[in-house]
A and B are shown apart, each in its own frame.
Chain A
Amino acid sequence: MPDLAPILSKQDVTQRIERIAQAIQERFPGKDLALVGIYRRGVPLAERLYTLLKPHFPDLNIGRVDISLYRDDLKALEIIPKLIGSELSFDLDGKHVILCDEVLHTGRTARAALDELLEYGRPQKVELAVLVDREGRELPIAADYVGERVTIKPEERIAVRFVEVDGEDAVYVQQGGARR
């Protein structure tokens, strides 16, 4: 991790997630709601939103998609990802699904997640929540809930770190580095 100070601190991360939860709650009073985290760091985001929203949505569902099998660049990768597998143990039909990911960049991950999600059922509506939205879209995809919008150089990269995965909550800007 670079010595640079994070662009979002632990408190910022918590507050941005609370803000997303608030927006979801305002938009969906009592709807049949489901949160689906995109593995890997979309999963802790979905879990935290779940904790915040569960008191307001008693029937709230949570799931996970592992998009490895839906990537458009899989066989060009030097390293083949280990599969975790998707877990959608509830009926998707008629649900309002909110896909959760840590960063929205090219939109390709969201595209893959959408494709996979739709093979499990027919949700009434699918939305996208991200902690950080940055420029560089390669597909016509937009987020419905955004924690923080940032403008960085194309060669720079956003690194979101969550306690559950990385041991700390913070968001950094990194120079170069491989795109995920």
Chain B
Amino acid sequence: MTPRKDLLDIQSLTDEELEFILSNAVPFKNLFKRSVKKVPTLKGRTVLTLFYEPSTRTRSSFEIAASRLSADVTNFSVSTSSVVKGESVLDTVATLEAMRTDYVVVRHSMSGIPNLIAKHTNASVINAGDGFHAHPTQGLLDVFTLREVFGGDVRGARVAFIGDIQHSRVARSTNLLCRRMGMQTAMLAPGSLIPRELPQEIAVFQDWKELYAWKPDVIYLLRVQTERQNVPFFPSIGEYHRLFGLTDERLKWARDNGIWVMHPGPVNRGVELTDSVMEYERSLIDQQVENGIAVRMSVLYWLKPGSSTEDKP
């Protein structure tokens, strides 16, 4: 497979590239069973994580992926950097350029910032979430997990996204990939959190009874993102849980019907889901975390490092 410079969204991936990333993630995951989990593939390369939005798990996941490939990982933390002193994104990029970074992992609250950065740097840019736009590695790790669950053939599997669809780049990226791989998808959310521009063929439900009738194989709980809502979209957390959360009663329905549960983390207990989901035998939440590392290793393996020696004087 020909390497590419950047991974900015799912749409720009060809079917072959998609398959390459997903199938290579399998041997990467097998490495985790070794006592030495590290391979020398990116020795001497630098991966920089540039997060303009708080994130613990996505950033750690990228850091672990990069370290297991033997890259040097540097964390450009916004709160401790000159960004808070008013440095613009492009000034920061110029600095990174001078540092000869090979890979930049970017998260920003504004859609399109990773694309902007990619245009202005030789480094390979990976979008780790931008605004409501995209979170491609999340989509990849989710379909990788679904392929594990369904033994490779995911066609026809029924996945329902539940919660804040409107503000979720996870729902956007994962839903897009699920549909592309032949799965059926549906949405369950308060009317105020359903995007208007949804394609016709996606079923939209407003209560769980309708969802039960749709007979999903997987329910994907989205995080309630209070930090992305300037105005409240539902009256209270308690009411959200009662109306849309995976309550104990709904968990019983899931267990009786053998339904898999996914969540991108971090979970808000008592909001999207009840405590007992964490012990549910068909919860894929931990598997998603582990797979995230393998998939991100696979992405780094494929992308072309930026600070190649040929442009040096």
Q: Which residues of A contact B (CB under 8 A)?
A: 66, 69-70, 74-75, 77-80, 82-86, 115-116, 119-120
Contacting pair B302 A80 (CB below 8 A): yes
Chain B residue with minimal CB distance to A70?
B40
Give Cα A79 to B2, complex, Å.
5
Describe A's contact surface by its main secondary structure: loop
Interface size class on chain B is 20 to 34
Contacting pair A69 B39 (CB below 8 A): yes
Q: Which residues of B contact A (CB under 8 A)?
A: 1-3, 20, 23-24, 26-28, 30, 34-36, 39-42, 45, 69, 301-302, 304-305
Residues of B within 8 A of A116 (CB): 39
Give Cα A115 to B39, complex, Å.
10
Give Cα A71 to B11, complex, Å.
31
Q: Which A-B residue pairs are the 5 nearest by beta carbons? A: A85-B27, A69-B39, A119-B36, A83-B27, A83-B24
- Least CB distance, A48 to chain B, in whole angstroms: 24
Contacts A115-B40, A119-B34 known; A80 to B27 CB distance under 8 Å? no
Contacting pair A80 B3 (CB below 8 A): yes
Residues of A within 8 A of B34 (CB): 119-120
- Least CB distance, A114 to chain B, in whole angstroms: 12
Chain A residue with minimal CB distance to B38?
A119
Give Cα A66 to B302, complex, Å.
16
Give Cα A70 to B3, complex, Å.
17
Query: Which of A75, A77, A82, A86 is in CB contact (< 8 Å) with B20?
Result: A82
Contacts A82-B20, A82-B23, A119-B34 known; A70 to B2 CB distance under 8 Å? no
6 residue pairs A–B, Cβ–Cβ below 8 Å: A66-B27, A80-B3, A83-B24, A83-B28, A115-B40, A119-B35
Contacts A80-B2, A80-B3 known; A85 to B30 CB distance under 8 Å? yes
- Least CB distance, A83 to chain B, in whole angstroms: 4
Residues of A within 8 A of B30 (CB): 85-86
Contacts A69-B41, A75-B305, A119-B36 known; A82 to B2 CB distance under 8 Å? no
Query: Which of A69, A74, A82 is in CB contact (< 8 Å) with B1?
Result: A82
- Least CB distance, A120 to chain B, in whole angstroms: 6
Chain A residue with minimal CB distance to B309?
A76
Chain A residue with minimal CB distance to B310?
A76
Give Cα A79 to B302, complex, Å.
9
Query: Which of A74, A79, A86, A120 is in CB contact (< 8 Å) with B41?
Result: A74
Query: Which of B3, B20, B40, B45 is in CB contact (< 8 Å) with A69?
Result: B40
Residues of A within 8 A of B23 (CB): 82-83
Residues of A within 8 A of B45 (CB): 75
Give Cα A27 to B294, complex, Å.
42
Contacts A85-B27, A119-B34 known; A80 to B41 CB distance under 8 Å? no
Instruction: Among A70, A74, A80, A116, find the residue whose CB has the most chain B CB atoms closer than 10 A.
Output: A80
- Least CB distance, A166 to chain B, in whole angstroms: 22
Chain B residue with minimal CB distance to A121?
B35
Contacting pair A84 B2 (CB below 8 A): no
